[in-house]
Amino acid sequence: MAFTPGSPNHPAYGAGHATVAGACVTVLKAFFKTINKTKSKSEPIKFSTLTERETPYSKPQPIQSYITSAEHECVRKTLPKAEADKLTIEGELNKLAMNVAMGRSFGGVHWRTDNTRSLILGEALAARILADITLDSNEKPTFEFRSFSRKSDGKPKMILIRQGRIYVDGDLVETNTSAL
């Protein structure tokens, strides 16, 4: 255990850091396009398709992916194209959420199950807030993203939020405050 005084005096579930990470990443996935959806499937958008500008009016260039290697005195090196093409926006956001969540486990503060369940709890809270936004704004936005949770075949569940309602894989779910 990393903390010599021992484990904390509070209950392990829900993990606060994981809940907040789940909520924050869910909002990012909802506000930014992270998937290309067709009638038959949804595919995450690859990082390599994104562009950035060096200055506001310069020509857009593909975003470069890097790796920092401890073997070479922490020098930043360009990630090989074959590896960079595997990175997705959604995958990097999910990885960020999991890293924030799991950081507390290393110190003996939480269990892995606390973190994975709390990421989903944060997602549910964010989804409810996003559902409220769809009713409160004049634009009537719709949000669609893939969930942290998985179906029995291992594929992520699709979340659709519109007109104050939340749909998981096409099924309307009860999302009033007491249901959370």
Residue 45 CB partners (closer than 8 Å, separation 6+): 33, 34, 35, 36, 88, 89, 90
Catalytic residue selected from 2, 4, 6, 10: 10
Catalytic residue selected from 14, 15, 17, 119: 17
Task: Note if 17 is an active site residue.
Answer: yes
Task: Note if 72 is an active site residue.
Answer: no
CA angle, residues 26, 174, 22, in degrees to nearest 5: 20
Residue 70 CB partners (closer than 8 Å, separation 6+): none
Beta bridge partners of 29: none
87's tokens = 């990175």
User: What stretches of 107-150 adopt beta strand conformation (E)?
Assistant: 142-150
* Catalytic positions, written as ranges: 10, 17
